Amino acid sequence: MRQQVIKLKVGKLESKGVAKIWRINKSNIKKRLVMRAVVEEGGYLEMKGKIVIGKNIADVDVFLEQRVLLMGVGARAVVIPELEIESNEVKAGHATSVGQIDQEQLFYLTSRGLTRELAVKLLIEAFLA
Amino acid sequence: MLKIGNLEVKIEGKKVLAGLNLEIKDGEVVAVMGPNGSGKSTLAYTLAGKYPNTGKILWNKNDISDLKPEERAHLGIFLANQSPVAIPGLSVNRFLWNLYKVRKVESPKSLGVMEFRKWIEKKVENLGIGGELLKRGLNDGFSGGERKKMEILQMLVLEPKLVILDEIDSGLDVDALKRVTQVVVDEVKNRKMAVLVITHYSRILKYLKPDRVAILKAGKIERTGGWELTEEIERDGYEK
Amino acid sequence: MAMKNKAYVFRAKKGLDQGVVEQISAKKQEPEWMRDFRLRAYKIFLEKPMPTWGADLSGINFEEIYYYLKPNEKVERSWDDLPKEIRDTYDKIGIPEAEKKYLGGVKAQYESEVVYGSLKKSLEKKGIIFCGMDEALLKYPEMVKRYFGTIIPSGDNKFAALNSAVWSGGSFIYVPKNIKVGLPLQAYFRINSANMGQFERTLIIVDERAEVHYVEGCSAPIYSDDSLHAAVVEVVVKKGGKCRYTTIQNWSTNVYNLVTKRAWVEENGLMEWVDGNLGSKVTMKYPAVVLAGEGARGEILSMAVAGKGQNLDNGGKCIHLKPNTTSRITAKSISMKGGRSSYRGLIQISPGAKNARSKVMCDALILDGKSRSDTYPTNKVLESEAIVEHEATVSKIGEEQLFYLRSRGFSPKEAETMIVNGFMEPIVKELPMEYAVELNRLIGLQMEGSLG
């Protein structure tokens, strides 16, 4: 499946917004849109992603993934995934998560001897890779 | 009796079955073996009514090519799927009971709900299915082996005249395979059920003991023979 | 057929002005604070604009509605004492029979007033109060005054303001500390005339470690003119308390159903909204849970089946104010025959709500090419130590599933109904058995003829 990735980093006390409206105007599309962001201390992010499928569209399978990591005190995010679907020969979906670094991944890396700081740094790099 | 003549099926413009001929009499077990991509599953699905075909599919001398899937089921044709789909929320118990009510057999038993449940529980035990599975959504979160057993359980409810086993052995361990094939063999013996076994391993055939073995290649039956064919394939593969 | 004049004891004139608001208050012989509350709300109603999002509400003509219609002099304790026409209506729906079999108490509202009320003696003895809102205002004025309009202020939205101005009927429930009400309490709302506005007001207070399950149903016959149902429901769940509020909404398809529902949940309390929507022309309803105490939990199960001419815009909101609060929303919808269903939701994690967790799952089925499905969720995470997850899918009924069932001998229609019922099962199974059966039947009815 084809994939498009939008990545974003919101630094300390920064405020950023990203919005993507994805209109499906023709049939026969299989695609995934990924939006990923890391928000640091005191940062604020607004992320909007919308899939619109009009009438008489067929054989479409589209998915929007939005992942946000809140990496410090006061990091905030407003995430809005939307779907407007007017055809039935299609499949559309989204998955959104706002949270912190996966503790199991972190444990795995630190148990290999990495410092916590380095492990976090690597995981953020991997997240935005 | 099933008689397939010059069967052709195209999927997305590609000819997958290209003039296939095959015959299965009542009470007969016929194996169709072939490498990946030879058209085995397409044959199974086509017989069950998933894809349109040209050529003839004669079932007791009537061409069923234009019949809908449910009409074929009512005539006694049953497909045990390679990877049965899940229907979350539809409990196995409710599904089986509905199955029992819509089935069309010559001398129907008419069990009440409770008797039917008991009957099912016995069959479930024979097949080695955990009883709690009956309360869950159909095939929802089932292991590969559980799904296969569930297919066979449905077969027992519907009492078909022809069962098509599409790679029924995948996902089953040796003990489960023995149980499942024993159930099928019993149905052949007791009711003269015909069986079309589709597989690419000969393992299952040791238990089902087919009357004939046919080799499918590029959408056609390439060769037909007896048991010795399976041994040859075991030894040399399909690419001889 | 509209009711004849004789069938009710009082009806306010058509349309709304300050006089009508005052007349309703006077008829009810209310305390002055409530009259003032109504008049303030009426002003807010006039000032508030119509919502600019969601369903099309331009068909509502506020001048063509009867805002107050009193069908009977008092609340009867026996079905036999009700006027025949009213009694027959409830008999047909099966309420008196259900009451005998599995309910702890019943309130029946007809047009603007509660006309029948009962509560099992055993429950009454435990100090449980279950009565009409009007009765509560007179009998328990302090409790009502303390909570009324505090969870949903009149200014919340235009229709909450309208309700606050002209409210009549609805239920009042109080469950004392440590008391668990085993049998559900049920209210049934009926609009029986054309151009009717029903504005019931419900207040439920679940005291510490107490539990209650409240069920409401509703219906109306179909008229050529539209009716309006704008209810306000406020729930307070105290420390360790538990409330489940189940709605089976089956208004006829000429009713605008615009309802505001919100629960305030204190420490370790649990609020569950089970919201089934089948009827109405337009529904806008997003049951909300405010998690106001540490460890409070909220759960919303939302279901919508939108058929011809229907726009069901529903969902839920969870506002996390305190640490260790959790919420979950599960929404399932079906759109068919040109119907439109929308999920609209809000998850808000307020600053300081550390370790809050929320999960939202929305699944929608579109059965044909004429219908529409939308998903509009907002996830506001204002606390960095919190986790919010949201997932949604929109699809048609799987071809593979259909083929599988057909190859077992089921007709396409049987197969489709089985798949749809299975799709709804996670929500339907949360309903009391009798309602689950009824709901599956209603979905089946809706689906009739949905296949070509």
Contact in structure between B86 and C404 (CB atoms under 8 Å): no
Give the pLDDT score at C450.
Answer: 46
C409 touches chain B (CB under 8 A): yes
Integer CA distances (angstroms), A56 to A8, C319, C366, C416, in order: 34, 38, 13, 22
* Number of Cα atoms under 13 Å in the Cβ half of residue C136: 28
pLDDT higher than threshold 50 for residue C342: yes
- Rounded Cα distance between A23 and A4, Å, is 14
From the list C375, C379, C386, the residue facing A83 with the nearest CB is C375
Contact in structure between C197 and C66 (CB atoms under 8 Å): yes
Q: What are phi and psi of A27, to 5 degrees?
A: -80, 175
pLDDT higher than threshold 80 for residue C9: yes
pLDDT higher than threshold 50 for residue C74: yes
> Which chain C residues are closer than 8 Å to A100 by Cβ?
384-385, 387
Integer CA distances (angstroms), A31 to A20, A24, C183, C410, in order: 14, 10, 50, 34
Contact in structure between B195 and B77 (CB atoms under 8 Å): no
CB-based contacts of B191, cutoff 8 Å, min separation 6: B159, B161
Identify the CA nearest to C180 among candidates C235, C118, C122.
C122
Contact in structure between C297 and C322 (CB atoms under 8 Å): no
Q: If DSSP codes are grouped into helix, strand and coil, which group holds residue C170?
A: coil
- Rounded Cα distance between C162 and C45, Å, is 6
| Element spanning A39, H or E | strand A29-39
A125 touches chain C (CB under 8 A): no
From the list B50, B89, B154, the residue facing C408 with the nearest CB is B154
| Count of other CB atoms within 10 angstroms of residue C177 | 14
From the list B87, B102, B104, the residue facing C419 with the nearest CB is B87
The residue of chain B nearest to residue C423, with distances taken between CA atoms, is B89
Give the pLDDT score at C28.
Answer: 95
Give the pLDDT score at C194.
Answer: 87
pLDDT higher than threshold 50 for residue C85: yes
**Is there a contact between C407 and B48 if contact means CB atoms under 8 Å apart?**
yes
pLDDT higher than threshold 80 for residue B128: yes
B114 touches chain C (CB under 8 A): no
- Rounded Cα distance between B98 and C405, Å, is 11
3-state helix, strand, coil in chain C (%, to 5): 25, 35, 35
Identify the CA nearest to C259 among candidates C235, C278, C279, C283.
C283
> Which chain B residues are closer than 8 Å to C418 by Cβ?
87, 90, 95, 98
- Mean pLDDT across C12-27: 96
Adjacent-strand bridge partners of C319: C290, C348
CB-based contacts of B132, cutoff 8 Å, min separation 6: none
Neighbors of chain A with 3 or more C-beta pairs under 8 Å: C
Q: What single-letter amino acid sits at A37?
A: A
- Preferred mutation among B67, B71, B78, B90 to probe C, highest tally of C CBs within 10 A: B90
Give the pLDDT score at C299.
Answer: 98
Sheet holding B29-33, edge to edge: B77-80, B162-166, B194-199, B29-33, B212-217, B220-225
The CATH T-level fold of domain B2-236 is: Rossmann fold (3.40.50)
Contact in structure between C189 and C216 (CB atoms under 8 Å): yes
- What is the phi-psi region of residue C143: left when phi exceeds 0, alpha when psi lies from -120 to 50, beta otherwise? alpha
Give the pLDDT score at C2.
Answer: 44
pLDDT higher than threshold 50 for residue C5: no
The residue of chain C nearest to residue A93, with distances taken between CA atoms, is C393
Q: What is the pLDDT of residues C260-293, one digit of tens each?
A: 999 999 999 999 999 999 999 999 999 999 999 9
Q: What is the pLDDT of residues C174-195, one digit of tens each?
A: 999 999 998 999 999 999 888 9
- Rounded Cα distance between C127 and C121, Å, is 10
* Residue C27 Cα to chain centre, angstroms: 26
> Which chain C residues are closer than 8 Å to B104 by Cβ?
409
Match 């086993």 to its residue by tokens.
B165
A6 touches chain C (CB under 8 A): no
- pTM for the predicted model, two decimal places: 0.89
> Which chain C residues are closer than 8 Å to B137 by Cβ?
422, 425
Give the torsion through C-alpha atoms of C79, C80, C81, C83, to 10 deg.
90
Counting residues of chain C whose pLDDT is more than 90, the rounded percentage is 82
Q: What is the pLDDT of residues C408-433, one digit of tens each?
A: 999 999 999 999 999 999 999 998 88
- Preferred mutation among B85, B101, B139 to probe C, highest tally of C CBs within 10 A: B85
- Preferred mutation among C365, C395, C408 to probe B, highest tally of B CBs within 10 A: C408
- Rounded Cα distance between C405 and C412, Å, is 8
The residue of chain C nearest to residue B71, with distances taken between CA atoms, is C409
Give the pLDDT score at C7.
Answer: 66
Neighbors of chain C with 3 or more C-beta pairs under 8 Å: A, B
pLDDT higher than threshold 80 for residue C131: yes
Identify the CA nearest to C174 among candidates C133, C218, C138, C232.
C133
The residue of chain B nearest to residue C397, with distances taken between CA atoms, is B87
- Preferred mutation among C384, C399, C419, C450 to probe A, highest tally of A CBs within 10 A: C384
- Rounded Cα distance between C289 and C284, Å, is 16
Which tokens belong to C370? 């004429």
Give the pLDDT score at C449.
Answer: 54
Per-block average pLDDT, block size 10, for chain A (129 residues)?
A: 92 95 94 96 97 95 96 96 95 97 86 86 88
From the list C368, C369, C389, the residue facing A56 with the nearest CB is C369
Q: What are phi and psi of C438, to 5 degrees?
A: -65, -40
Does C225 or B220 have the greater pLDDT score? B220
A21 touches chain C (CB under 8 A): no
Q: What single-letter amino acid sits at B194?
A: A
Q: How close, in Å, is residue C414 to chain B by CA atoms?
A: 10
Give the pLDDT score at A114.
Answer: 84
Give just the sign of the alpha carbon dihedral A26, A27, A30, A32: positive
Q: What is the pLDDT of residues B27-86, one digit of tens each?
A: 999 999 999 889 999 999 999 999 999 999 999 999 999 999 999 999 999 999 999 999
B239 confidence band (pLDDT: 50, 70, 90): confident
Q: What is the pLDDT of residues C209-244, one digit of tens each?
A: 999 999 998 888 887 788 999 999 999 999 999 999
- Rounded Cα distance between C227 and A95, Å, is 38
Contact in structure between C365 and C333 (CB atoms under 8 Å): yes
**Is there a contact between C407 and B50 if contact means CB atoms under 8 Å apart?**
yes
Terminal CA-CA length for chain B: 32
Q: What is the DSSP letter of C384?
A: S
The beta-strand segments (E) located in C191-268 are: 197-198, 201-206, 211-219, 227-229, 232-237, 242-249, 255-265
Give the pLDDT score at C434.
Answer: 79
**Is there a contact between C423 and B88 if contact means CB atoms under 8 Å apart?**
yes
pLDDT higher than threshold 60 for residue B115: yes
> Which chain B residues are closer than 8 Å to C408 by Cβ?
70, 73, 99, 102, 154, 158
Q: What is the pLDDT of residues C86-108, one digit of tens each?
A: 888 888 888 898 888 888 899 99
Which tokens belong to B118? 């008991």
Give the pLDDT score at C89.
Answer: 87
For chain C, what is the mean pLDDT?
A: 93
Q: Scan residues 62-81 of B and list those with Cβ closer than 8 Å to C.
A: 68-70, 72-74, 79, 81
Q: If DSSP codes are grouped into helix, strand and coil, which group holds residue C175?
A: strand
